[in-house]
Amino acid sequence: MLEIKCIGILTSGGDAPGMNAAIRAVTRTAIYNGFTVKAIMRGYKGLITGEIVPYVTQNVSNIIQQGGTILKTARSKEFTTAEGRQVAYETMQREGIDALVVIGGDGSLTGAKIFASEFNIPIVGLPGTIDNDLNGTDTTIGYDTALNTIMDAVDKIKDTASSHDRLFFIEVMGRNAGFLAINGAIATGAEAAIIPEIATEVDQLSELIESGFRKSKNSSIVLVAESEITGGAMGLAERVKKEYPQYDVRVTILGHIQRGGSPTASDRILASRMGEAAIDALLDGQRNVMIGVQNDELVYIPFNKAIKKGKPINRDLLNTVKILST
Ligand code: ATP
């Protein structure tokens, strides 16, 4: 088996709060175990262009509390081609990088899986995405911070909403996953969450309106997961205007505010533990696995399983939202 001396680290896809804590943990654990570390800037793009910086322990000082990623991130079209990945491999050889730690979402780990199988490179992934849409892990790095950002924003909207008689649709991120919407709804006491996981089975909007949900309320807040399947907050508002014109409807799209901010304690701790575990995995001879967390235990999840579409969501939570808002 290939002896690993130098580990490359990169962040890819959408950034997520806590990525810096993960970068710090990977770097420091690698150095602690006698490896050298090279930081690859701008995700797979930097692997193709050769934008690579040797990292020592000081490079990751004072970053644990910062949102975003000091390694920058990018979406690389070139890396989705065999030619692009060949250039990336040549960069690794030239730089003497023997193994990779990739921090990103399902696209990034899909790229990692393909790259690892083409060139027989040991790669360990960390789930870095606010969407919580990777399989085999209870939560992902950035999810808790995004949820807290949503909570703060919705609390503020509620202050103004309660002064009027209005129906507010607040769109949150999630990339076809409803975790942020459903748990955001519970955390803010919203009337409902409209999520893509069940959008093809039930008409959540008509169900909501016909349930007479606003019996004694001045204003109502509904969290909507961004998705073509739900129609997003705008799509639903259009429907209300046409089908239920008696309602005064307002839309807020929280947008990129959800990606920013200092990571919560939970995300910093999760990222730190997972970062350490990524190096332990390489020391264990593991490859092509994502580090996951299940019932507070760190686990290895094969890339294939991690990136499988349609992470199951706990549907009972919809009922919780409903009961608690009556
Ligand atoms: P997020 O979920 O936060 O958006 P992500 O990792 O899913 O993050 P993507 O843009 O889907 O973000 O993927 C990031 C990068 O991973 C892409 O720009 C591309 O370079 C690489 N990638 C994605 N899919 C593939 C693929 N099928 N083959 C090779 N590389 C891929």
Q: What is the pLDDT along the chain (326 residues), one digit of tens a residue?
A: 569 999 999 999 999 999 999 999 999 999 999 999 999 999 999 999 999 999 999 999 999 999 999 999 999 999 999 999 999 999 999 999 999 999 999 999 999 999 999 999 999 999 999 999 999 999 999 999 999 999 999 999 988 877 777 899 999 999 899 999 999 999 999 999 999 999 888 899 998 888 877 666 677 999 999 999 989 999 999 999 999 998 899 999 999 999 999 999 999 999 999 999 999 999 999 999 999 999 999 999 999 999 999 999 999 999 999 999 88
Catalytic (active site) residue 131:
yes
Q: Report whether 249 contacts 167 (CB < 8 A).
A: yes
Q: Which domain holds residue 115?
A: 6-142+263-306
Task: Let me know if residue 324 belongs to a domain.
Answer: no
Q: Does any domain span residue 255?
A: yes
Residues 157 and 212 in one domain: yes
The CATH number of whichever domain residue 290 belongs to comes to 3.40.50.450
Q: Is residue 320 part of a domain?
A: no
Same domain, 138 and 10: yes
pTM of the model: 0.96
Pocket test for ligand 1, best of 10, 11, 12, 135 (most atoms within 8 A of CB): 12
Residues 56, 96 share a domain: yes
Distance 112 CA to ligand 1 centre (A): 9
- Spell out the SS3 assignment of 221-258: EEEEECCCCCCHHHHHHHHHHHHCCCCCEEEEECHHHH
C-alpha of residue 77 to centroid of ligand 1, in Å: 9
For the CA of 15, the closest atom of ligand 1 is 3
Domain check: are 71 and 135 in the same one? yes
Contact criterion met (CB below 8 Å) for 250 and 166? yes
What angle, 0 to 180 degrees and rounded to 10, lies between the N-to-C axes of helices 143-161 and 265-283?
Answer: 160
CA distance 316 to 314: 5
292 close to ligand 1 (CB < 6 Angstrom):
no
Q: Label residue 120 left, alpha or beta by phi (over 0 means left) and psi (-120 to 50 means alpha).
A: left
- The rounded distance, in Å, linking the Cα atoms of 146 and 172 is 9
Lookup: tokens for 32: 């602690």
- What pLDDT sits at residue 118? 98
Could you give the number of structural domains in the chain?
A: 2
C-beta 75 within 6 A of ligand 1: yes
Indicate whether 164 and 129 sit together in one domain. Answer: no
Residue 131 sits in the same domain as residue 16 = yes
Q: Separation of 149 CA from ligand 1 center, angstroms?
A: 24
Ligand 1 mean position to 176 CA, how many Å? 15
- Active-site entry in 98, 131, 144, 267: 131
In a domain, 138, yes or no: yes
Distance from Cα 109 to the centre of ligand 1, integer Å: 7
CATH number at residue 180: 3.40.50.460
Q: Which of 83, 78, 8 is nearest to 45 (CA)?
A: 78
Buried/exposed 212-222: b ≥16 CB within 10 Å, e otherwise: ebbeeeebbbb
- Give the residue, by CA position, lying nearest to ligand 1 atom 24: 107
Placement of tokens 């349609």 in the chain? 310
Give yes or no for a contact between 233 and 253, defined as CB atoms under 8 angstroms apart: yes
- Residue with CA nearest ligand 1 atom 3: 14
Is the domain of 279 the same as that of 242? no
Confidence at residue 8, expressed as pLDDT on a 0 to 100 scale = 98
Look at residue 313 and tell me if it is in a domain.
no
Take atom 19 of ligand 1 and give the residue whose Cα is closest. Answer: 76
